[in-house]
Structure 1
């Protein structure tokens, strides 16, 4: 709450800096620096580092070099989640930023100083933009089960091989058991750790079978839907199951400069609506804003039927092309004679044509603009609003 108030009070020329995009960019920079410094630390010797090196054990420096690179890759994932404005991505970044800063300090390297500074600078920005990351991460039952299966198989292999460590060559610690399980279930199999008895061989075979199955299921359930959703958003394609959920919605046929304010108002009001446009770039931009969009010709019958015009509450048509709008209105009226259709005419002479096409309400932009300008010049546009506000305040003042 306090961070959001600070952002609201920032001047206009500074407010754009503390934005969602700034948080995403800072998280990505921290991720790249974490990976880079981790690789540099692995490649260098402790003697090559600065004055902090003698105070940090070499084993710790080596460990944070490897884990720093791993943390950097995790930061890339959290930055992508931030880009989607996911709340889970915000929490993951908040937890990872102090870790990258600590790893930078423990690397005891002058190369890691920018990592520490940038991690410290990214945290305040992240807290200031906290309210911007309000989208929840929704996982299906299949995705949860696939993730649980993957974790369960790794736990089964780790604790099982550790319990049978006397029957394996090379397993002395729990870390050895986890290493063996990971390379075995992923079918890498370096051969440095192997079973020495028949029981250990049978156990290793079970880890291979279960590991391959769990990896395959996890990739299909966790990664597959994300790729499919991204492709669908890019192409503006909605699945039939998503379209079937539409009910009592508003259809916005076509997209242009006149349509943008309509979409913004419907989106801010939380209305259920669907935009049908033939412009793939516009469809991709709308999909990135989590707005339902269908890439198709709004004057064709099939897209409107797929958009469930039979259950639509109303139809809005307002683009820069009156001729295309008339075709869209005509098609919508033929498919749904009882639906209310509202449209706008960029040319005053086209108002009657749109009415004859089947529109219930046609707003002439030239007439509306002239009317509003006259009322504004005479000061008449304010009087109804002011009087209404005064009427609303009278009872409270009387009390």
Structure 2
């Protein structure tokens, strides 16, 4: 019997933008999280005495600003060398030869597959054969799996491939192939990379995405890590167990405010969600949460116009989480408990003006807004521009919300001063 670790998509030193906008987040610790995840991977390999490690591409996040990124990776590989653990890796789209302007000599326990042609390597002292091919160019659109070598009889065969398979939302279609293409090779385990969601797609043969080693933003929620695979004496997978290795975990929370009439009740409901996160353990990782408040409530018109309550929620998060949970962002998806009566007089004129604005494509495109938009960070400017697109549903929805909120405020139904 033998053990190996399968990880992918380390994205070492991936730049994390926009963190400074969120008060209280440990930005520097988050920036170093990808390195800490690799340290934990090496710790796990040594502690569990694995026979080898598989890395299925995107070790880096593109060419480095300096050599520090490559030197750090080489240093961690040297730690594995001290314990006699070989590493088999391929280059993915982010660290393909065409995008890497620098390279560092790696220890001799690291075996990198060529991008020119698929190849095979037999693991010394272990009845296993590893097959793989690196990306030469970032936009690799050929079916690489079709050209992989035949299985080696009498060994546990592992195919290492960076691929989107037949397509995953949010991931570029690189090295596309089907599950049937993979099964046709007769391998026992396909160690895939590129898709950042942890998933076992098939168990005969095993087709596995470990996901990325460390979540980098709110789009990459949940536990992140690697798979620890044990192979029995019959050269079959005995267990394929996920091992969480990330330093931080991103989570989305949704808090319903239906029937909620004051901030004290909002705090109680939010605290209950936070305590559920604490009780779940979250694999003993630090957690960054984004909360969305939903539902029909009398707080509908009051919350957007105030900021103190947001700071109160951040303080509550720190308290309940004992410094282990941070609140990244608050989103509102609220509705009034009852729409105000059809307005008359000046109120009717206001409502009509807002409806005309919703139909006027020139209002949101006024030149005066452009200098202000250009001063915003890229990710903020893109989001604001989407809201101000007069042809989009977001713009019409925003004006409808403004109309309802103003009418509630002006008629004294908004729950605030």
User: By the TM > 0.5 criterion, same fold?
Assistant: no
TM-score normalised per structure 2: 0.22
| Structure showing greater Rg | 1
TM-score normalised per structure 1: 0.23
Higher helix share: 1
Report 1 or 2 for greater relative contact order, CA contacts < 8 Å, sequence distance ≥ 6: 2
